[in-house]
Amino acid sequence: MSPGPTLRDALRVKPGTTVDLSRIDPRETLGHERDRAEEETAEQLARLAELQDPFWAESKRALLVVLQGIDAAGKDGTIGKVMEAFNPQGCVVSSFKVPTPEELAHDFLWRIHRRVPGKGTIGIFNRSHYEDVLIVRVRELVPADVWAARYDQIREFERLLTETGTTIVKFFLYIDRDEQRERFQARYDDPTKRWKFSMGDLDERAHWDDYMAAYQDALSKSSTNDAPWYIIPSNRKWFRNLAVASIMADTMAALKPDYPPAPELPENLVIE
């Protein structure tokens, strides 16, 4: 019996396809069971740890991981889980919030390019350049012709990165509106989590349908062979963690990182 498709194959947005999020169940687990998922996730994290060492040692390529999702989709939680695998010397997390005056004085990709990881390094973006076709679109921060032109600009930017040694993997953490409501309520009810809650979150929530339309366009227009999007059903956090860790491990394994050759050394060296 041949094995079924990997999560990397099953969750990838094929280039040229039109994404309809209403046809995707954010509770989906693709046959995976919670009882086994924690063990499976640990196995994938162990693969990532093993792959990072030669990836860092050879320093030929960089890996850029982009995390996007509606508020409370689990970006922070995903980073916390996946980061367990990595030596922090070779992994950098960048968060992109409201642009500063200095950033606004440049093109929208300027602040992003500065955070792209160097060779041998894994970079994780908590939000990213996609905010400039998401919140900017929904909140009408720039004219429509400006944000509409950015899909081409983003594809060209990502093509530049991939052609110069950066592998890009992009995750959209997909939850439904009821799940977001429950997570917001849990934040509010927990004194240790209330600091993460803002009334502005509810204002953004009122634009749910507009955000889903913006995400559908971004996913459809910018999933390429070199920089694919993966839609991760994320209502169930255990499946989200398994899917992201598995896809990242498969992506790194496909790069076949290897240790560089040792320098020429004298024979029979004895260090005293």
- Write out the two tokens for 249: 């491990």
Phi, psi of 184, rounded to the nearest 5 degrees: -60, -45
Q: Which amino acid is at 83?
A: M
Residue ranges and CATH numbers for the domains of the chain are 7-254 (3.40.50.300)
Q: Each residue of 210-247: b (16+ CB within 10 Å) or e?
A: bbbebbbbbbbbbbbeebbbbbbbbbbbbbbbbbbbbb
How far apart, in whole angstroms, are the C-alpha atoms of residue 132 and residue 144?
Answer: 11
DSSP 8-state assignment for residue 12? B
What would the DSSP string read from start to end of 119-157?
A: TT-EEEEES-GGGGGTHHHHTT-S-HHHHHHHHHHHHHH
- Write out the two tokens for 200: 């502005």
Q: Is 106 helix (H, G, I), strand (E, B) or coil?
A: coil
Per-residue model confidence as pLDDT tens digits over 111-162 = 999 999 999 999 999 999 999 999 999 999 999 999 999 999 999 999 999 9
**% of the chain at pLDDT higher than 70:** 99
What would the DSSP string read from start to end of 158-215?
A: HHHHHHTTEEEEEEEEE--HHHHHHHHHHHHH-TTTGGG--HHHHHHHTTHHHHHHHH
- Rounded to the nearest 10°, the torsion over CA 179, 185, 186, 187 is 110
* Mean of per-residue pLDDT scores for the chain: 96
Structure confidence at residue 1 as a pLDDT band (50, 70, 90):
very low
DSSP element (H, E) containing 230: strand 229-233
- Region 34-40: what's the mean pLDDT? 95
Per-residue model confidence as pLDDT tens digits over 185-237 = 999 999 999 999 999 999 999 999 999 999 999 999 999 999 999 999 999 99
- Write out the two tokens for 62: 């960089």
How far apart, in whole angstroms, are the C-alpha atoms of residue 255 and residue 162?
Answer: 13
Q: Which residues contact 122 (CB under 8 A, 6 or more apart)?
A: 52, 55, 62, 63, 65, 86, 90, 91, 92
Structure confidence at residue 4 as a pLDDT band (50, 70, 90):
low
